[in-house]
Amino acid sequence: MKKTSLSIALFICVLLQINASPITIKESKVMDVTVYRNYAKETRVGSSKIPAGNSEIIISNITYAIDENSIQVGSKGGNVKILSVSTRINYLTEPNKDANPTKVIIWQDSIKLLQNKMGFLLKKIEVYETGLSILNNNNKLGTAEESLLPEMLKQLVELNLSKQLELKKLIFENYLEYSEINQEISVLQTQIYQGSSVGTSKAIREVVLKINAKEAETAQFKVSYITTAAYWVPTYEIRCENTTKPLLLSCRAKIVQTTGFDWKDIKLKLSTANPNKNHNRPILYPIFVDFMQPDYYKEQMERRKDNMGYLDAEKPMAMDKKVEVLQNMAYTSSGESSYIPSEDFKNGIQVDDNNVKISEGDMMVEYDIETLQDIESDGKEHIIGVQEITLPAIYNYHSVPKLDCGAFLLARITDWGKYNLLAGEATIFFDDMYIGKSYLNPNVSADTLLISLGIDDKIAIKRIKLSEFCSTKILGSKKKETKAFETIVKNNKNYAIEIEILDQYPISKNSEIEVTLDEAKEAQIIKEYGKVLWKIKLQPGESKKLRLIYTIKYPEEKLIQERN
CATH of the domain at 83: 2.60.120
Domains: count for the chain = 3
Closest-CA residue to 498 (of 401, 402, 399): 399
Residue type, 321: K
- Same domain? For 157 and 175 the reply is yes
**51/173 same-domain check:** no
Cα(113)–Cα(101) distance, integer angstroms: 19
SS3 466: coil
CB atoms within 10 A of CB 262: 13
Strands (E), 401-468: 404-414, 424-430, 433-440, 448-455, 459-465
CA distance 402 to 417: 32
Same domain flag for 469 and 550:
yes
How would you list the strands of the sheet with 40-50, edge to edge? 66-76, 217-227, 40-50, 29-35, 263-271, 365-375, 356-360
- Please report whether residue 502 resides in a domain: yes
CA-based Rg of the chain, rounded to a whole angstrom? 39
Judge if 37 and 117 occupy the same domain: no
In a domain, 484, yes or no: yes
- Residue 148 Cα distances to 140, 151, 163, 164, angstroms: 11, 8, 20, 21
Look at residue 353 in the predicted model and tell me its pLDDT.
57
Question: What is the longest distance spanned by two Cα atoms in the chain?
Answer: 132
3-state secondary structure of 443: coil
**Which amino acid is present at 361?**
G
Q: Does a structural domain hold residue 347? A: no
Residue 323 included in any domain: no
pLDDT in tens, the chain (564 residues): 445 555 544 444 444 444 457 888 888 899 999 999 889 999 999 988 889 899 999 998 888 888 888 899 988 876 888 899 998 888 766 555 444 566 777 888 888 888 888 888 888 888 888 888 877 776 655 554 555 566 766 777 777 778 888 888 888 888 888 888 888 888 888 777 665 544 445 678 889 999 998 888 888 899 999 999 999 999 999 998 888 889 999 999 999 999 988 999 999 999 988 776 766 777 777 666 554 555 544 555 555 554 444 444 344 333 333 333 323 333 333 333 333 444 444 444 555 556 788 887 767 888 899 889 999 988 899 999 888 889 899 998 999 999 999 999 998 888 887 888 888 898 888 888 888 888 888 877 677 888 888 888 999 999 999 999 999 998 888 899 999 999 999 999 998 999 999 999 999 888 889 999 999 999 999 988 899 999 999 999 999 999 999 999 999 888 888 887
Same domain, 110 and 189: yes
The confidence score (pLDDT) of residue 126 equals: 86
User: Do 117 and 173 share a domain, yes or no?
Assistant: yes
**By the 8 A CB rule, do 48 and 57 touch?**
yes
In this structure, what CATH number is given to the domain that contains residue 527? 2.60.40.3680
Burial of residue 232 (number of CB atoms within 10 Å: 0-12, 13-18, 19+): buried
- On whether both 218 and 77 belong to a single domain, the answer is yes
Beta strands at 23-25 and 53-62: parallel, antiparallel or unpaired: parallel
Pair (495, 547) in one structural domain: yes
CA-to-CA distance for 221 and 82, rounded, in angstroms?
10
* pLDDT attached to residue 321: 34
Compute the CA torsion angle 311, 312, 317, 323 (nearest 10 deg): 80
172 and 216 inside one domain: no
Q: Pick from 83, 59, 84: which is nearest to 205 by CA?
A: 59
Residue 290 included in any domain? no
Q: Residue 129: its pLDDT value, please?
A: 85
CB 89 within 8 A of CB 205: yes
Same domain, 81 and 206: yes
* 61 and 192 share one domain: no
Which of 208, 209, 206, 207 lies closest to 81 in space, CA to CA?
209
Q: What is the pTM of this model?
A: 0.60
Q: Is residue 396 part of a domain?
A: no
398 bridge partner residues:
408, 500
Q: Is residue 361 part of a domain?
A: no
Find the domain containing 181 and state its range. Answer: 101-137+153-199
Domain membership flag for residue 443: no
- The 8 Å CB, 24+ separation contacts for 297-301 are none
CA distance 522 to 156: 97
111 lies in the same domain as 37: no
Sequence letter at residue 233:
V
